[in-house]
Each structure stands twice: as structure tokens, then as C-alpha cells.
């Protein structure tokens, strides 16, 4: 079982799970659990979490790639904590006039920001923005590198549904090569004491040398399933497939999660998918909408996890501001 380290959070940025400890992950998930009632529809029309821990704070959603779940749930998370949210739309911004993203971030920060949530197609861009600004930066997904809040919400869903995050066997199946979700889950779940197996055709198990952790792989989903407590299906990311070609029918024969195939997994095994889903490709409707699927529960967990991430990171950033006399909001005495 993974060791628990003392509670506490000192990071003003959340850029990836590669650097987080098991104790930090547990602390964030425990905080998300406290916010969970505010992630559900039943309480959605209540006032911000008393006493509005992020009241008068401003969060920028700096999304330079498409998103439904991450952008929406960061927005709802910030608003339910009492913060204002500004939506940046790359397609109608001055990025079109060759302004750099770092200049964009610095300029909007100069209008008064407490956090930037960034999604970008370039690996490491959230890290570069974090070096360029004073406020908190949270990675909403960078290329095939990391998607930390997705993995944290996956872990919250796993913990809620299976009761623990240690000694689980989780197969992550499909287009691993292009997946930031697979990488962040590998870092997070292994730190929590679980086993992660990347499963897919050889083509999708190439290009994993960037991963800074031991990687277990298999090309045989049917052989791996009987060991699995959870199966996380990944979207085939056609938009990242320049120069990659494969036979869709072969792929389905080997890797599509069907009800018949799922029956090979451990009794009570759950099915996850980060979304968006290619229905009828990596997963059948019957499984995606079936009793073992926790796909929509993952989405609810996403609001709670993002509430926790914003609360903890902005809290750490404000402690830093207070301890820096010349900080942006600090006053010289
Ligand atoms: N899982 C996920 O990141 O979904 P979006 O691309 O819709 O944000």
C-alpha cells in the first residue's frame, strides 16, 4: 500500500502528476471529496460553497485546443467556489496577429488574474506559461504529455467505485501513443500502489520513451482482461495521426470493448473513458451506456477535482504573494 505523507499543499501550479507525491495526490483527492456534493446537479443551484473561498478571484480559461469537459468543468468549479471566469477563444484572439502565447498570458495577467487554466497542442507550454506569470497555472492538457486533472478525476472515480487506489490492476487500452491521459494516469496510479498495463496494437505502443516511469505493455487485451479491476478505454485520436495508418476493422477485432469481451474481466470491474468517445470504434454503445460504465460519474468527479485543484493552487499562490513584500499584490511597508 502506498505510504500516506502528511497533509498539506504548497504548489501554486498543477502542471503534471509526474512530480506529485502519493501524499499530495491523496490530499487533493480528499479535498475533492469534500467538494463532491457541489459537483452534483442536486446542489448546483445553491450559492457558492460557503463562504465562497475563491470570491473576488479571477480565473482565465486559456484554451488553444478544443474541449467540452475540461473547459466546462473548470468553469463550473471556479464559479461554484465564487470566482469569476474569463473564457479565452484562440480563434478570435490576437494570436491570429502573431502575438505569442506568453505575451498573451502576460497581457491578460496584467488585467488581474489569480489562475490560468491552459490547454495547448505544444508539449510543455503550460510549464513555459508558469515561468512567465506570477499567478497559478493549471495544465488542462498539453499535447500527448500530461492531463493531470483528468487523471485525478479518474482516480477519484476509481476510489469511489472500488474503495481504494492501491493494489488495483488497471488496463489503459487503445491509442496510448497519442494519449496525455494514459501518461498522467500511469504516473498517478503507480504512485498510489496500483498496476497499470498499457494495451494496444504495436503501432499505438510506440513512442513511449518520454515516459519517466516503468511501463508495462501488452498487445493482447483478451489475455489481460481477467486480471483487471478497471478498464480505461482511450479515444483513437485521428487528429494526431499524421503519417499513421491502420485498419479500423482489425483494430475493432483486437481492441474494441464489447460486452462479450468485458465479461472476461474480474467480476465488478468498471469501465472508464475520458471522453470524447468514438462510439462503435473503441467501445460499443452497450458497454459505454451499460451497468459497469462509470463514464458520466468521471465527469461529475471532474468538477470536484477541479474545485480542489483551483482552491489548493490559488491558496498556495496567495501564501506566496503574502510572503513576498514586492509581490504583485504585496505592499512595501
Ligand atoms: N477528457 C477531456 O479532456 O475532454 P475534453 O477534450 O472535452 O475537455
Residue 320, pLDDT score: 95
pLDDT over 80 at 1, yes or no: no
207 lines ligand 1 (CB under 6 A): no
pLDDT over 70 at 6, yes or no: no
- From the CA of 65, give the closest atom in ligand 1: 6
| Cα of 19 from ligand 1 centre, angstroms | 22
Measured distance CA(18)–CA(29) in Å, rounded: 16
pTM above 0.75, yes or no: yes
Mean pLDDT calculated for residue range 126-144: 98
Measured distance CA(280)–CA(17) in Å, rounded: 31
Measured distance CA(124)–CA(131) in Å, rounded: 11
Mean pLDDT calculated for residue range 178-189: 98
Which residues are known to be catalytic?
69-70, 97, 119, 147
| Cα of 311 from ligand 1 centre, angstroms | 21
4 pLDDT band, cuts 50/70/90, is very low
Q: Supply the angle between the helices 148-162 and 295-323 in degrees, to the nearest 10.
A: 120
Residue nearest to atom 6 of ligand 1 (CA): 67
324 lines ligand 1 (CB under 6 A): no
| Cα of 9 from ligand 1 centre, angstroms | 26
User: 257 pairs with which residues across the strands?
Assistant: 283
Q: Supply the angle between the helices 22-35 and 180-191 in degrees, to the nearest 10.
A: 100
Q: Mean of the per-residue pLDDT values for the chain?
A: 93
Sheet arrangement for strand 136-142? 84-89, 58-63, 115-120, 136-142
68 lines ligand 1 (CB under 6 A): yes
Give the percent of the chain with pLDDT over 70.
Answer: 92
Amino acid at each position: 500500500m502506498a505510504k500516506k505523507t502528511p497533509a498539506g499543499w504548497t504548489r501554486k501550479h498543477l502542471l503534471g502528476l509526474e512530480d506529485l507525491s502519493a501524499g499530495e495526490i491523496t490530499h487533493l483527492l480528499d479535498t475533492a471529496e469534500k467538494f463532491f456534493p457541489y459537483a452534483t446537479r442536486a446542489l448546483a443551484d445553491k450559492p457558492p460553497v460557503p463562504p465562497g473561498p475563491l470570491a473576488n478571484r479571477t480565473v482565465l480559461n486559456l484554451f488553444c485546443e478544443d474541449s467540452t469537459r475540461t473547459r466546462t468543468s473548470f468553469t463550473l468549479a471556479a464559479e461554484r467556489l465564487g470566482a469569476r471566469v474569463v473564457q479565452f477563444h484562440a480563434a478570435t484572439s490576437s494570436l491570429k496577429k502573431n502575438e505569442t502565447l506568453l505575451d498573451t498570458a502576460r497581457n491578460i495577467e496584467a488585467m488581474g488574474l489569480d489562475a490560468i487554466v491552459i490547454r495547448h497542442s505544444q508539449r510543455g507550454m503550460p510549464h513555459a506559461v508558469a515561468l512567465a506569470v506570477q499567478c497559478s497555472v493549471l495544465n488542462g492538457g498539453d499535447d500527448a504529455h500530461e492531463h493531470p486533472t483528468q487523471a485525478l478525476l479518474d482516480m477519484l472515480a476509481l476510489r469511489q467505485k472500488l474503495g481504494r487506489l492501491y493494489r488495483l490492476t488497471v488496463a489503459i487500452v487503445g491509442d496510448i501513443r497519442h494519449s496525455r491521459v494514459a501518461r498522467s494516469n500511469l504516473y498517478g496510479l503507480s504512485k498510489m500502489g496500483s498496476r497499470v498495463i498499457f494495451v494496444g496494437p504495436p503501432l499505438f505502443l510506440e513512442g513511449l520513451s518520454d515516459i519517466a516511469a516503468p511501463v508495462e505493455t501488452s498487445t493482447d487485451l483478451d489475455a489481460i482482461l481477467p486480471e483487471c479491476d478497471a478498464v480505461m478505454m482511450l479515444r483513437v485520436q485521428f487528429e494526431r495521426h499524421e503519417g499513421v495508418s491502420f485498419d479500423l476493422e482489425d483494430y475493432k477485432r483486437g481492441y474494441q470493448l464489447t460486452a462479450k469481451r468485458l465479461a472476461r474481466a474480474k467480476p465488478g470491474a468498471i469501465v472508464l473513458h475520458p471522453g470524447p468517445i468514438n462510439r462503435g470504434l473503441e467501445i460499443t454503445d452497450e458497454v459505454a451506456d451499460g451497468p459497469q460504465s462509470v463514464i458520466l460519474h468521471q465527469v461529475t468527479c471532474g468538477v470536484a477535482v477541479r474545485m480542489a485543484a483551483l482552491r489548493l493552487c490559488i491558496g498556495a499562490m496567495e501564501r506566496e504573494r503574502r510572503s513576498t513584500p514586492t509581490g504583485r499584490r504585496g505592499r512595501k511597508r
